[in-house]
């Protein structure tokens, strides 16, 4: 075990040079980068004993990964030399440079980095929670529901299967589509796809929003004969009657009966960010979107899904955010100006079959930004190998240690 658990009942006011909130993708990799760059005292507050690699949730739901591949013990993935405070932050007291923890303890910091991720808001849609508990509802947005989805999708031989992509800020929003394409490929191979009405609800005017990606996905959509409804959101679910109502915001609603409902839930920022006076209008940490420094307090920084940046919230974005943020925090600790810039990069890998993928790589102004190779947006076997085989290894071995 490389992490040191520093939580003790008698030690109420510990202090760290750099304190990170959240030991997920962003928190651990930025902590690892800072340690590797020579910052001696880095600690991470993280309540969970388990670490998940969320991109694999889509593969679990779509039937191309085992659940066990997405999970590791938190203690086994903490970066070398980084201290672990096994607790949860409940508030930040920026004036006194201190965070409050669920246990009642407080921790002081010199520099604070906030990376607690985003929350699934199952209550935001009437009837959705009940539908997820029923034998006809699942999602790839939570580990247990992704396992349930895998079994349910595999069983379908006819009927109506509805996939829903959430509106508003979301973690890798397009991931709602990944298990859908994988399931369609499976049903095609089983020769039952023609008996299944596959419906996809998306909030955007087109399937993705960038012409090249739209064209690539549309080709696959046509091949699987998916009934795509654009510009709509899920309004209500009746789990007993197995019906949904959906439509544009404030517009006319349509009813649809389903046999299986796969939903990406509406998502929201953790509430304590707003209560601590650090939020933007949507509740995410208000930061300069290039330096990732808080616009409220210069000793506070944020990255990942909880940061109020314009990019697509994704692990891919974090590869660049952690680099810029670690450089900037180190500069401030050494009395220099923070000049490193995050360029707004984000990515959404769409697995469009059980062996091929399309990489949507783009910036926070929806401009294409390929980093793998210029045609990474085209369906290919190599993209799938990278998404399914190479990225998980890079994540566990390098990204979490701050080495990539």
Residues binding ligand FAD (CB under 6 A): 21-27, 45-48, 54-55, 57-58, 88-89, 115-117, 140-141, 171-172, 175, 270, 304-306, 313-316, 318, 347, 349
CB of 109 to ligand FAD, least distance (A): 13
**Which C-beta is closer to ligand FAD: that of 171 or that of 356?**
171
CB of 62 to ligand FAD, least distance (A): 11
**Which C-beta is closer to ligand FAD: that of 193 or that of 318?**
318
**Which C-beta is closer to ligand FAD: that of 47 or that of 247?**
47
**Which C-beta is closer to ligand FAD: that of 156 or that of 172?**
172
**Which C-beta is closer to ligand FAD: that of 291 or that of 314?**
314
CB of 10 to ligand FAD, least distance (A): 21
**Which C-beta is closer to ligand FAD: that of 25 or that of 356?**
25
CB of 363 to ligand FAD, least distance (A): 14
**Which C-beta is closer to ligand FAD: that of 48 or that of 371?**
48
Residue nearest to ligand FAD according to CB distances in the complex:
24
CB of 223 to ligand FAD, least distance (A): 22
**HEC per residue, the chain:** CCCEECCCCCCCEEEEEEEEECCCHHHHHHHHHHHHCCCCCEEEECCCCEEECCHHHHHHHHCCCCHHHHEEEHHHHCCCCCEEECCCEEEEEHHHCEEEECCCCEEEEEEEEECCCCEECHHHCECHHHHHHCCCEECCCCHHHHHHHHHHHHHCCCEEEEEECCCCCCECHHHHHHHHHHHHHHHHHCCCHHHEEEEEECCCCCCCCCHHHHHHHHHHHHHHCCEEECCCEEEEEECCCCEEEEECCCCCCEEEECCEEEECCCEECCHHHHHCCCECCCCCECECCCCCEECCCCCEEECHHHECCCCCECHHHHHHHHHHHHHHHHHHHCCCCCCCCCCCCEEEEEECCCCCEEEEEECCCCCECCCCCCCCCCCEHHHHHHHHHHHHHHHHHCHHHCCC
CB of 91 to ligand FAD, least distance (A): 9
CB of 336 to ligand FAD, least distance (A): 26
């Amino acid at each position: 075990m490389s992490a040191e658990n520093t939580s003790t009942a008698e030690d109420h006011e510990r202090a760290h040079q750099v304190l990170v909130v959240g030991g997920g993708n962003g928190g651990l990799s930025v902590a690892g980068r800072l340690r590797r760059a020579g910052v001696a005292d880095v600690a991470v507050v993280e309540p969970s004993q388990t670490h998940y690699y969320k991109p694999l949730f889509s593969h679990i739901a779509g039937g191309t990964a085992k659940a066990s591949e997405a999970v590791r013990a938190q203690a086994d993935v903490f970066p070398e030399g980084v201290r672990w405070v096994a607790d949860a932050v409940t508030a930040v007291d920026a004036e006194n440079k201190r965070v409050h923890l669920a246990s009642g303890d407080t921790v002081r910091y010199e520099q604070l980095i906030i990376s607690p991720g985003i929350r699934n808001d199952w209550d935001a849609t009437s009837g959705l929670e009940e539908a997820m508990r029923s034998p006809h509802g699942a999602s790839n947005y939570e580990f247990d529901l992704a396992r349930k989805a895998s079994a349910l999708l595999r069983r379908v031989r006819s009927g109506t299967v509805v996939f829903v992509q959430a509106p508003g800020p979301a973690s890798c929003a397009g991931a709602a589509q990944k298990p859908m394409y994988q399931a369609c490929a499976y049903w095609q191979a089983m020769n039952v796809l023609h008996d299944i009405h596959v419906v996809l609800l998306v909030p955007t005017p087109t399937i993705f929003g960038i012409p090249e990606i739209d064209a690539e996905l549309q080709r696959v959509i046509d091949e699987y004969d998916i009934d795509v409804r654009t510009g709509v959101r899920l309004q209500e679910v009746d789990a007993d009657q197995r019906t949904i109502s959906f439509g544009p915001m404030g517009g006319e609603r349509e009813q649809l009966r389903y046999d299986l409902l796969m939903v990406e839930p509406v998502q929201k920022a953790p509430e304590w960010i707003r209560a601590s006076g650090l939020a933007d209008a949507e509740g995410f940490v208000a930061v300069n979107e290039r330096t990732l420094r808080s616009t409220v307090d210069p000793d506070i920084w944020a990255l990942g899904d909880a940061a109020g940046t314009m990019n697509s919230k994704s692990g891919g974005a974090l590869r660049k955010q952690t680099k810029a943020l670690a450089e900037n925090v180190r500069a401030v600790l050494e009395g220099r100006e923070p000049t490193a810039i995050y360029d707004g990069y984000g990515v959404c890998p769409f697995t469009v079959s059980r062996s091929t993928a399309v990489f949507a790589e783009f910036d926070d102004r929806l401009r294409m930004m390929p980093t793998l190779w210029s045609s990474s947006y085209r369906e290919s076997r190599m993209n799938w190998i990278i998404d399914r085989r190479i990225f998980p290894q890079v994540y566990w071995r390098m990204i979490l240690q701050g080495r990539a």
